[in-house]
Amino acid sequence: MRIRCGYEITYECPAPTPMLLMLNVRPERISDLETPDIILSDPPIDLTQYRDRFGNLCSRILAPQGRFALRSDFIVRDTGLPDPTFPEASQTPVDQLPDEVIVFLLGSRYCETQELSDIAWRLFADVPPGWARAQAIVAYAHERITFGYAHARPTKTATQAHEEQLGVCRDYAHLAITLCRCMNIPARYCTGYMGDIGIPVDGVMDFSAWMEVYLGGAWRTMDARHNKPRIGRVMMGIGRDATDVAMITNFGPATLIGFKVVADELL
């Protein structure tokens, strides 16, 4: 399968504004690129890149005063297969987890494990550990939250999403991640492209959020927003929660005036 991905994001800046971008695909997907994943800007500016603590490819820019646009358009190859499932994947005891995985058991900015721990143990203590428990958590988050773009709020935490029962894909992910961590299942936040491939068109295209859980000695994809395997995920970033994988962070005033994302299968 070939997938065309890209975006056009436009800002109005009252003054030159430093920005941090996470708009490239993860290094693991670079070998799948059929055309280069390059960040272009209008007007053209200098850009420097580095990899953060989670291996994400980040870019630093100084956005100019006035109207400023970022865009990309590339083709990536994909297996075309839905997310694999691992019903037999076991849960690794905490004392046997790799050191680098432990951080994904801890509470974070949007995933307050202390606030939801009692609820998690009450709901899922009797579910067999491993894949069954993680899937039960995903199904609970899927049913608990009603999706709607009008419910998006950049400061909303997992606890707030649980109480309000309204949100967008990041809220489903934060809630499921938090409940998994409460039950000693390492879970990390993922973001990237995921188009409406293999399903009916599902609203306006945007970047998507999902999660990975550490089961059976490896990271496994799960998605509380959709609660079923999907086709054509193109990972851009992983982290503890949305704080670590913000697509654009501006260090000063900047008004978003245009936003378009594309993730379409090429026939």
> All domains of the chain, ordered by start, with CATH?
2-76+247-266 (2.60.40.2250), 94-243 (3.10.620.30)
Tens digits of per-residue pLDDT, 216-252? 999 999 999 999 999 999 999 999 999 999 999 999 9
Neighbour-count burial for 240-264, b at 16+ CB within 10 Å, e otherwise: bbbebbebbebeeebeeeeeebebb
Token pair 């851009």 in the structure block, residue: 236
**How large a percentage of the chain has pLDDT more than 70?**
99
Tens digits of per-residue pLDDT, 12-50? 999 999 999 999 999 999 999 999 999 999 999 999 999
**How large a percentage of the chain has pLDDT more than 90?**
95
Token pair 């504004």 in the structure block, residue: 17
Q: From CA 84, how far away is CA 197, in angstroms rounded? A: 16
Tens digits of per-residue pLDDT, 59-110? 999 999 999 999 999 999 999 999 999 999 999 999 999 999 999 999 999 9
* SS3 sequence of the chain: CEEEEEEEEEEEECCCEEEEECCCCCHHHHHHECCCCCCEEECCCCCEEEECCCCCEEEEEEECCEEEEEEEEEEEECCCCECCCCCCCCCCCHHHCCHHHHHHHCCECCECHHHHHHHHHHHHCCCCCCHHHHHHHHHHHHHHCEECHHHCCCCCCHHHHHHHCEECHHHHHHHHHHHHHHCCCCEEEEEEECCCCCCCCCCCCCCEEEEEEEECCEEEEECCCCCCCCECCEEEEEECCHHHHCCEEECCCCEEEEEEEEEEEEC
pLDDT at 44: 97
Token pair 């076991």 in the structure block, residue: 90
Q: From CA 205, how far away is CA 40, in angstroms rounded? A: 20
Q: From CA 138, how far away is CA 128, in angstroms rounded? A: 14
Q: What is the pTM of this model?
A: 0.96
Q: Kindly indicate the confidence band of residue 203, based on its pLDDT and cuts at 50, 70 and 90.
A: low
Peptide bond into 128 cis (omega under 30): no
Residue 201 predicted with pLDDT over 70: no
Say if residues 121 and 183 touch (Cβ distance below 8 Å): yes
Residue 138 predicted with pLDDT over 90: yes
